[in-house]
Structure 1
Amino acid sequence: MTRWLDPEEQRSWRALILGMTLLLDRLDADLRSTHGLSLTEYEILVRLSEEPDHRMRMAQLADSVAHSRSRLTHTVARLEKAGVVVRCESPDDRRGVLASLTEQGYALLEVAAHTHVEGVRQHLVDLATREDFATLGRVMNAVTDDLIGAHPAMELRH
């Protein structure tokens, strides 16, 4: 039997969908217009910057940004063409491929981060109380944990 959303739940659900769509579109547009970088590309650079030696196995990188491996391969190829990422064989097993952030990529990330964080703050963080924002984080962590639990092959970090 379907447990339909009540009117308040429906309003909240629709607000979440519309708000997230508009927010992600705005953050993406700001990065593209200012730095020629999509939000997806930015997230890839962030993930690489957080790793030792600024490199990561492609499969692990795909999981960390919740992309299919083929989609990630195409995106990393664009970043590689731009000179901000390089790919190479893994020295550990030669079967794996590593993506590495170049110095040019790190420099791009440093300037793009300002644009991104200001957008996140202006269009989300500063619109909520600290308590509401903390609650949002807890709810989204629960959603992430539930969905990862339903798909054990995914190894997202959060």
Structure 2
Amino acid sequence: MAEALEPEQLDTYFALMESVSVLHHAVEQQVRSAGELSYVQFQLLARLADAPDRQLTMTALADGVVYSRSGLTHQAGLLEKAGLITRGPSPDDQRATLVTITQAGLDRVATILPGHIEVVRDLLFDPLSTKDLAALGDVMTRVRDHMRAQPPRSAAPRKRRT
């Protein structure tokens, strides 16, 4: 049986989870209101807008946003139908699908981004001093890197249907 968390660990865990939930809810509301997208759709577009050549493979997108392959395929289909991305075969790997953001997708990100920045600044960064920000950035980078040391979900073998 696993050893119980120390009270300080438990308090920190609950504070982190509550903070993430409040921030995620506020960002989700802003993205929906400003751009008529879900948060994951915005994440996909923002990652593509920031990528070299504004394109990534489906696997790289799934790993970047920590999303299942099937869920990403569904979301990519919706974004493609809306004219915000295109999908096609990768010239470097015939097994890979390359996703490219369109000008309409870039325009949608540009519409959402100012309000998104405002929400993130207001809820996350405004209560922090410069020293707090540096410390939080350091801690969260170490935690993320530790978590990312595990193979990404997209690398997990697919379960066979019986």
Assess same fold via TM > 0.5. Answer: yes
User: CA offset at residue 150 of structure 1?
Assistant: 2.8
- In 1, the alpha carbon distance for the partners of 2:72 and 2:130 equals 34
**Which amino acid counterpart does residue 20 of structure 1 have in structure 2?**
V
Aligned to 1:100: 100
Residues 58-96 of structure 1 deviation map (CA, whole Å, 9 limit, x = unaligned): 111111111121111111111111110111111223321
Q: Which residue of 2 aligns with 1:8?
A: 8
Q: Would you say the 8 A contact 1:41–1:79 is kept in 2?
A: yes
2:48 maps to 48
Does 2:7 align with 1:26? Answer: no
- 1:146 corresponds in structure 2 to 146
Contact 1:56 1:99 in 2 (8 A): yes
Number of aligned positions between the proteins: 155
Whole-angstrom CA distance in 2 between matches of 1:8 and 1:123: 23
Query: CA RMSD of the aligned region, Å?
Result: 1.9
**Closer, same or farther: CA 150–91 of 1 in aligned 2, 3 Å:** closer
Change (3 A) 1:135 1:45: same
Equivalent pair of 1:27/1:39 in contact (CA under 8 Å): yes
Listed one character per residue, the Cα deviations across residues 14-66 of structure 1 (whole Å, up to 9, x for unaligned) are: 11111111110110111102210122111111111122221111111111111
Indicate conservation of the 8 Å contact 1:89/1:97, yes or no. yes
Q: Which amino acid letter does the alignment assign opposite residue 49 of structure 2? A: S
| Identical pairs, percent | 36
Q: Which amino acid aligns with 1:146?
A: H
For 2:154 and 2:95, locate their aligned partners in 1 and report how far apart those are by CA, in whole Å: 20
Q: Deviations over 1:86-144 (max 9, x none)?
A: 11111223321111100000011111111111110011111111221222221221111
- Unmatched segments (≥5 aa) in structure 1: none
- Partner residue of 1:84? 84
Alignment CA distance shift 1:152-1:97 (3 Å):
closer
Q: In structure 2, what is the Cα distance between the partners aligned to 1:93 and 1:9?
A: 45
